[in-house]
């Protein structure tokens, strides 16, 4: 039996789909919760946000991540990085929930969603900076 070594690929090539798809999966849970339980989240003072707008922004952030991944695979790293940064905003803004209420106004599921979405956004943002400053070779 012959064992062959895997083709060497830059670590970024292996991480890109993992980070993007993880961020999207986490955002699906968080933004679905935001939409379905919109009234369970502390209300904002300005009242401009509503469930359809939550879905719209999620779709926009997700599309940017998927398009960024397609550009990454085409080795268009700076364009991909820019789209990854935009996609990451969907997670990075998650702590803004806490500007609308006290910690005790959120249940454990909401805290977990907010935290995981923020971490995923931070990971995607960090990855975008990494490939922008040091593209894979």
What are the tens digits of pLDDT across the range 2-61?
A: 655 456 779 999 999 999 999 999 999 999 999 999 988 887 656 788 999 999 999 999
- Span 66-88, average pLDDT: 98
Q: Apex CA 64: angle with CA 79 and CA 122, to 5°? A: 85
pTM above 0.85, yes or no: yes
- Span 66-91, average pLDDT: 98
Is pLDDT above 80 for 98? yes
Contact criterion met (CB below 8 Å) for 127 and 97: no
Q: Mean pLDDT score of the chain, rounded to an integer?
A: 92
DSSP E strand boundaries for 8-129 = none
Q: Identify the pLDDT of residue 110.
A: 95
Is pLDDT above 80 for 126? yes
Q: Apex CA 8: angle with CA 63 and CA 72, to 5°? A: 20
Q: Identify the pLDDT of residue 100.
A: 85
Cβ of 123: how many Cβ atoms within 10 Å? 19
Q: Identify the pLDDT of residue 73.
A: 97
């Amino acid at each position: 039996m012959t064992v062959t070594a895997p083709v060497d690929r830059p670590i970024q090539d292996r991480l890109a789909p993992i980070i993007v798809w993880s961020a999207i999966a986490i955002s699906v849970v968080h933004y679905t919760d935001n939409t379905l339980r919109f009234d369970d989240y502390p209300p904002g003072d300005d009242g401009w946000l509503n469930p359809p707008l939550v879905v719209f922004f999620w779709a926009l952030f997700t599309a940017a991540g998927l398009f960024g991944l397609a550009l990454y695979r085409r080795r268009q790293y700076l364009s991909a990085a820019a789209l990854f940064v935009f996609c990451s905003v969907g997670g990075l803004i998650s702590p803004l929930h806490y500007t609308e209420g006290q910690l005790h106004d959120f249940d454990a599921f909401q805290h977990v969603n907010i935290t995981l979405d923020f971490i995923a956004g931070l990971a995607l943002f960090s990855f975008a900076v990494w490939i922008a400053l040091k593209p894979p070779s």
